[in-house]
Structure 1
Amino acid sequence: MSIANILRALAVLCLLSGFSVPAAAQTIGTVNFAFDSAELDDTARAEIAKIADKLKTIDSYKPTVVVGYTDAVGNSGYNLGLGQRRANAVATALTAQGVPVDRVGLVESRGETDLLVTVSTPERRNRRVNVTLEQMMTACNSYRTVPLSQSSIGNELQDDLQTRLINATTYFQQFQSDGLNTPAFQVAGATREACEIAVAYDMGAFRKLEYAQRCFCNAARLDVALGKIPPA
């Protein structure tokens, strides 16, 4: 049985079970902060050292993303800035620990959004910076902008392509079964086609990179069509 047929069979199983393949970011570590502070205490520095050691051993094409958060105390504008200062502090500490500068991608703040503990009072668990490996599922206008290079090609990328192929095939078959010729159905078809071609190419094939970029871009467009991520 070919890889494509195996993946179609897996997609059918996913569809029958109501399961959709997730694209959650891989968490490397979390650093917590004192109230209204972006200073790194001893506990935070010890955690950053562990995160840096992990990053230096991970051979991944995905950029590292550093995202700062706050608790719900204070106004949203102030908290957005505080979360950014926390993210910057962690990113700077990671590079000081020997993590290459180009290994760190996005450094941003989400302020008081995405509370781990839904309370309006001070809560240390909400005052955090998450360090993850980006899943690269943001809105995409052109596959050429997808940040993959020839050095990205490997088993990890192949696994991610297969995951996106299964997900797209699941949605395509669901829409097809429901008789819904919607934009999401059309994008699911385009995603399935691009990802199937990308998966089928040998690791050394010149066009594998191009179709991997197309697969990622169309998968992002599918998530926009499904309302999972906002449009660009």
Structure 2
Amino acid sequence: MKHLIRALALACFVPFFAAAHAQEIGTVNFDFDSAELDATAMAKIEEIANKLKSIVSYKPTVVVGYTDAVGSAGYNLGLGQRRANAVANALAAHGVPVDRVGLVESRGENDLIVSVATPERRNRRVNVTLEQMMAACQNYRAIPLTQRSIGSELQGDLKARLTTAATSFLQFQSDGLNTAAFQVAGAARETCEIAVAYDMGAYRKLEYSQRCFCNAARLDVALGKIPPA
């Protein structure tokens, strides 16, 4: 019992990004107060597009725009969105399928790389990532998987979630704790086991893959690894 409490306590100190870290693909930088793509930016976008087209992944591409700290927060939020839109459109023009991009958003002057109030080019950027799936889950049907997602990469992720769920379930069981976390671990173990067992072409593999991801995310919340939605 003591070692379980200690493990849960330590889990509470795991930062959010450790559980939902995104795979970095590339960064495009901008001139001051501009959403225009110069020659350097276009060369970088071509590099990012080629990389995305070479990666076989079910994970959605996420495009996020940022600004430096000069100007109002509202203006910078809009500027960051214009930058993100410009990069997303340029990626599509370079052959990245539109449905490959899952999110195009702005965080404005939040998350500065260099914490200064003056113009700083490194802060004026758009980050392109492959997003990990997912944070806290409310409904498995919201998990953005499709039949095209099914493949060896997804199967590996399902197996990893099954291992985590099974280990947590056995730990709770050995400590005699019939808690909500124990029940979530059981649900995650069951759905992930079914998802792994289905053949790649099975009709219900997609549904149980979504259920596995959702229950695994709920387990991470119960363990304190990620915050609730």
What TM-score bracket applies, with the shorter chain setting the length?
0.7 to 0.9
Which one of the candidate residues 27, 52, 65 is aligned to 2:24? 27
Gaps of 5+ in 2: 1-6
Question: Would the alpha carbon gap of residues 187 and 76 (structure 1) be closer, same or farther in structure 2, given more than 3 Å must change?
Answer: farther
1:54 equivalent in structure 2 = 51
Question: Would the alpha carbon gap of residues 166 and 72 (structure 1) be closer, same or farther in structure 2, given more than 3 Å must change?
Answer: farther
Gaps of 5+ in 1: 1-14
Whole-Å separation in 1 of the counterparts to 2:44 and 2:71: 27
1:187 equivalent in structure 2 = 184
1:72 aligns with 2:64: no
User: Alpha-carbon deviations, 1:139-180, whole Å to 9, x = none?
Assistant: 432212322222221101011212323344455556667776
1:110 equivalent in structure 2 = 107
Matched residue count: 215
3-state SS of the aligned residue for 1:109? Answer: strand
Whole-Å separation in 1 of the counterparts to 2:63 and 2:30: 14
Deviates more, 1:76-85 or 1:109-118: 109-118
Deviates more, 1:40-49 or 1:107-116: 107-116
Whether the aligned pair in 2 keeps the contact of 1:87 and 1:108 (CA below 8 Å) is: yes
Question: Would the alpha carbon gap of residues 44 and 198 (structure 1) be closer, same or farther in structure 2, given more than 3 Å must change?
Answer: same
TM-score by length of 1: 0.79
Root-mean-square deviation (Å): 2.8
Question: Would the alpha carbon gap of residues 30 and 191 (structure 1) be closer, same or farther in structure 2, given more than 3 Å must change?
Answer: same
Once the 2 structures are TM-superposed, how far is the Cα of residue 126 of structure 1 from its aligned partner?
Answer: 1.9
Whole-Å separation in 2 of the counterparts to 1:175 and 1:73: 51
Whether the aligned pair in 1 keeps the contact of 2:136 and 2:228 (CA below 8 Å) is: yes
1:132 equivalent in structure 2 = 129
Whole-Å separation in 2 of the counterparts to 1:52 and 1:174: 44
Once the 2 structures are TM-superposed, how far is the Cα of residue 133 of structure 1 from its aligned partner?
Answer: 1.5
3-state SS of the aligned residue for 2:81? Answer: helix
Question: Would the alpha carbon gap of residues 190 and 95 (structure 1) be closer, same or farther in structure 2, given more than 3 Å must change?
Answer: same
3-state SS of the aligned residue for 1:67? Answer: strand
Whether the aligned pair in 1 keeps the contact of 2:19 and 2:225 (CA below 8 Å) is: no
Deviates more, 1:76-85 or 1:139-148: 139-148
Whether the aligned pair in 2 keeps the contact of 1:137 and 1:219 (CA below 8 Å) is: no
Once the 2 structures are TM-superposed, how far is the Cα of residue 58 of structure 1 from its aligned partner?
Answer: 1.9
Whether the aligned pair in 2 keeps the contact of 1:154 and 1:203 (CA below 8 Å) is: yes
Aligned counterparts, 1:141-156, within 5 A: 141-156=138-153
Once the 2 structures are TM-superposed, how far is the Cα of residue 106 of structure 1 from its aligned partner?
Answer: 0.8
